[in-house]
Structure 1
């Protein structure tokens, strides 16, 4: 069996391996422990001076962690710049937020080249290289230019935009050429896959052979043939079910239940980001209370939103907007013994969140655009099958393609989301159980292990050479 080399922007801290909550970390660790190999990427450390040092290596059994630091300049141009102020808004259909700069694009290319240069000496001829996410699109081409002939796959964890959106990027053709350097390109959904194929046809006049839902599409472009296919990422379902059951006895869960004083709970958990639809979500909860006043003093909404990219203006603005919205809504509806919205800018561990999910009667997951959104899947997995809560899910989340037994909503339609919340809060137990069981069948048959094995198997069979 070929050794697997995983490349991602960040490498999960070694001492946190047992608690790796993210889908990527869980899948990567399991794959590497099975095949042996390397997990390569940025250490998370920013240094002031330019660095060309060799990767720091730590061996844990058959697994090698290899990490590099970034200079302040590289961090600003590659990470804060092109990756997160150009590609992130572009891929999430927020064209008006895109910042275009040759300087940051050059920094993005430079860091990908730097990473590739440092990985090459660590590679063996029969390795398989699996690259992750929008930060590292050029990485495969950088390896090819350095003479690497190994099988290479790429997986995009964000949505992939329609051609009409993608062409807003001045160097869109160059970006797609870089993507076509891989042997396998994976997306979350068939919608993303179709957008990629449409770009190949419309903008490049390339050829696309559709091999059906399970076979993906053969792409012929830039003198290469590659396989593109949808692989919807998932969660460690059974493990999370067990965690949620035990978490109900935890101190945090008991404190939360006591604080509700018999009220029902709606929960949202999202990184603080403009793609998550949080202002619209707050407004929908306000609309619920205004339209269905019987829920006043009987329902609480807990929104957990850990801050991210705190030095980026758009993130500063949304944090301020949400503080103002929650303050206004609480001022309008609060009683001396009840605050409608509990808005927390902090993170919680996996076990604590599992207990919170299981306590909540409604999971409110309403991004304006999301590649998958694992919170939706985690909420479902954490429910008590004998008395499950209801998932209200945005049609623009990749998870909606699988979890179609949720209440699917358009997050831009504030009144419709409020109506869905009303329906969720009043849904009879038999319907709740039926919907939950249908979604659990999907989560059990398509868990994180299925995702990992499907991708690795497809990479071994993809066109090569």
Structure 2
């Protein structure tokens, strides 16, 4: 079988027994171990004065090939165009989009440089799978250097409506580069509709019912491939950690109160402020929940050198302090806001303990936390998932209580319903969602994408 080459912005730190929790890390590393191959990308390090050097490390059948970035490249490619232009636009936050022509030039330059670093490592029959918005021009750069291998691209974040995408000044160049891939995958049917709409109405192309697209003089395939998890492994992890130190300490402080839990990166796309205000509204509208339920929000830091992320942290600290000041009692704190990382096993056991999983992003590609919360539940007495309609997971998890994350009162009403839901209804919803998670696991996502990519004619 041909070798698989994974290309991503960051190469996830992998160790047996301590694998990173993200779907990308879990799914593609398993594929690499099965078939043999290479994982190529940025090491996460910033190079000093010397020119960045490629580092190659062999671990069994998998080769890890990483390069650092210079400070200039990091600022323009990663911090600049990727996360100050593409990220907010693709998450429907054009009010936060910042565009700088020099940063776009840096984005193109780094993609071309990364492609040049990979070029001597390639073999003629390698299959190349590129991941996420940082690397849209990567295939175009490889094609310009004569690479004819099959190259696929998967977008882990939402694909925006065409009228949003055109607000990015070089949108035509981005989409022209995207069409250099042989297969482009997105998370959901709405994402696929948005991609098709752009290709047909902005690029003047055509898209057939079978997903064959023709645009910019290229023919490619497009499709939706919802990423999943390994639900039974997550369930085992949750069960194994139920008597751990963190959970024992939590039970002592909760004193039989019910628990609502959220876990998100600290990001404006996650709807954290609206979530806090909806919990406040719950305590207003349903006083019976006061001193009877606590809300834990875990929001690990991310992109701390970007101003908009600094602002959301200050806003959350202010909101949690204000709500706690309004409702707290001597022995009860309504909101516990934790700005730190926790191990995956701890989070899984926390999900199992929680009566409500509270996942309400303003916009999200998939949101695997929603799936992990469901998988972690006690089958005999499961909790309830309250889920934003704008998370990709809402397309699959019809057993959740689906909410609009800008409707604060509506979310409060959903929390009230979740906390009072009878066990039989909770079990029926849980069983329905677990069937979906098992049917659409991360291995199904991975294998279906790679099967379609390998079937593309050359």
Tell me the secondary structure at the aligned position of residue 303 of structure 1: strand
Per-residue Cα deviation, 1:311-341 (whole angstroms, up to 9, x for no partner): 1110111101111100000000000000000
Cα offsets for 1:181-212 (capped at 9, x unmatched) = 0000000001001100000111111111012x
Q: Deviations over 1:234-260 (max 9, x none)?
A: 111111111011110111111111110
Question: How well do the aligned residues superpose, as a CA RMSD in angstroms?
Answer: 0.9
TM-score (norm 2): 0.99
Is residue 403 of structure 2 the alignment partner of residue 409 of structure 1? Answer: yes
Separation in structure 2 between the aligned mates of residue 382 and residue 322 of structure 1, nearest angstrom: 27
2:326 aligned to 322, 328, 332, which one?
332
Q: Which residue of 1 aligns with 2:193?
A: 194
1:124-183, Cα deviation, whole Å (9 max, x unpaired): 000000000000000000000000000000000000000010000111111001100000
- 2 CA distance for matches of 1:179 and 1:273? 26
- Establish whether residue 102 from structure 1 lines up as the match of residue 101 from structure 2: yes
Is 1:419 matched with 2:413? yes
Q: What CA distance in whole angstroms lies between the structure 1 residues aligned with 2:273 and 2:48?
A: 37
Residue of structure 1 equivalent to 2:44: 44
Provide the rounded CA distance (Å) in 2 between the counterparts of 1:398 and 1:429.
27
Give, in angstroms, the shift of residue 52 of structure 1.
4.5
SS of equivalent to 1:66: strand
8 Å Cα contact 1:247/1:354 also seen in 2? yes
**Cα distance between partner residues in 1 of 2:14 and 2:57:** 9
Gaps of 5+ in 1: 212-216
Match of 1:313 among 291, 301, 307: 307
Please point out which of 414, 425, 446 is paired with 1:452: 446
Q: Provide the C-alpha distance between the structure 1 equivalents of 2:25 and 2:277, rounded to a whole number of angstroms.
A: 34
**What is the CA–CA distance in structure 1 between the aligned matches of 2:80 and 2:378, rounded to whole Å?**
43
Separation (CA, whole Å) in 1 of partners of 2:452 and 2:39: 20
What does residue 246 of structure 2 align with?
252
Query: In 1, distance between residues paired with 2:99 and 2:330?
Result: 49
Output the TM-score relative to the length of structure 1. Answer: 0.97
> What residue number does 2:380 align with?
386
Distance in 2 of aligned mates of 1:359 and 1:314: 33
Moved more, 292-301 or 26-35: 26-35
1:364 to 358, 363, 376: 358
Paired with 1:18 and 1:218, the residues of 2 have a C-alpha distance of 40
| Contact 2:7/2:40, CA 8 A, preserved across alignment | yes
Shift of 1:20: 2.2
User: In the TM superposition, what is the alpha-carbon distance from 1:16 to its structure 2 partner?
Assistant: 6.4
Question: Any conservation in 1 of the 2:206–2:213 contact (CA below 8 Å)?
Answer: yes
Deviations 1:261-290 (A, max 9, x none): 100000000000000000000000000000
Whole-angstrom distance in 1 between the partners of 2:229 and 2:195: 25
Aligned to 1:214: none
**Which secondary structure does the structure 2 equivalent of 1:126 belong to?**
coil
Moved more, 227-236 or 249-258: 249-258
TM-superposed CA distance for 1:17, in Å, is 6.9
The offset of 1:222, in angstroms, is: 1.1
- Counterpart contact for 1:51–1:70, Cα < 8 Å: no
The reply on whether 1:70 has 2:64 as its aligned counterpart is: no
Deviation at 1:376, TM superposition (A): 0.1
In structure 2, distance between residues paired with 1:376 and 1:15: 25
Mind listing any 5+ residue stretches in structure 2 that lack a counterpart?
A: none
SS in 2 for 1:59: strand
User: 2:258 aligned with 1:264, yes or no?
Assistant: yes
CA 1:417–1:29 in 2, change beyond 3 Å: closer, same or farther?
same
Q: Is the 8 A contact 1:51 1:69 kept in 2?
A: no
Please give the secondary structure, in 2, of the residue aligned with 1:204. coil
Could you tell me how far apart the structure 2 residues matched to 1:441 and 1:452 are?
18
Which of structure 1's runs of 4+ aligned residues deviate more than 6 A?
none
Within a 5 Å distance, the mapping from 1:53-64 to structure 2 comes to 53=53, 55-64=54-63
